[in-house]
Amino acid sequence: MAMRAVRVSRWAGAAVLTACVALTVAAPAATASATHENAEPVGVQAKAAAIAVASTGHVLWSRDLNTELPMASITKVMTALVVIRAGGLSRKITVPSAVVAYVDEHDASAAGLRPGDTLTASQLLEGLLMPSGADAAYTLAEAYGPGLGAFIAKMNATAKRLGLTRTHFSNFDGLPYPTGYSTYSTPANLIKLGRVAMASAVFRSIVDQRSYRIAAGSGHHAYFWRNLNPLLGVYRGAIGIKPGWTPTAGHCLLFEATRGGRSFIGVNLDSPGVGATVNGADATRMLNWAFSLPSY
């Protein structure tokens, strides 16, 4: 059977709570790079951004660290985290017919899910995170709420438990409704969220993949999804985690890379770019700067 084409629209690229993960994002130390020839990454154009040591959350550089901005499909990191924490990833979930109208109404990025297909929650997580499927987000939220409103409440409750005091979710996919600013976060909060998500082996294994294939089987069609993260396979050491875009949010990217035993996690919000395909320019500048530091 032919592979189902993945829809990537103009909104595209729009877990366990582990005790060992420190959730505090430290303020950048004034002397962090004072002896380095470049005291900050050059050329970063994002409205707000930050880069930190992945293992500790220590922020090395930031711009508007606590400024609340929309983050588009980075929202789906929380969607995935709520599902992973709930467990039962082998449970079978039938794609509801409502996903078609939902995707069409919002011109949303989609994994091309066929209503009536039955997939596991684990497979739907792949469709959520790799092609940034709003249809996968809808299907998971409906099943795990149960119901969309209940699921969004769980997202906000999880944010509160994580100490994400400047984060709010009005939906499960980061689409710009009721307004473009209804779902928002900050660089500081998103680094916290990203560190928790990347502590999950399930989450980490998904966002580190370039592509994922499901063969046609009893109860479902075949699917093939590519990861929309612009750094994977391009930036040496990139291991995830999630891009996002809407006209309001601009180009957004939560990212992590590791080289030679050093790992950095960062985020850029409202970076400039043409079209809906998120670029990795600001992330590359921040990572290059971080890896050039002699002491981290």
Indicate which residues carry an active-site annotation.
73, 76, 132
- The set of residues, in sequence order, having a beta carbon less than 8 Å from that of 236 and lying 6+ positions away, is 257, 259
Question: Could you give the CA distance from residue 164 to residue 17 in angstroms, rounded to a whole number?
Answer: 14
- 191 contacts 49 by C-beta, under 8 angstroms: no
Q: Tell whether omega for the bond before 70 is within 30 degrees of 0, i.e. cis.
A: no
Partners of 217 in the beta sheet? 220
- Provide the token pair at 131: 């092609």
Length of the chain: 296
Distance CA 55, CA 262 (A): 9
Single-letter amino acid, residue 81 = L
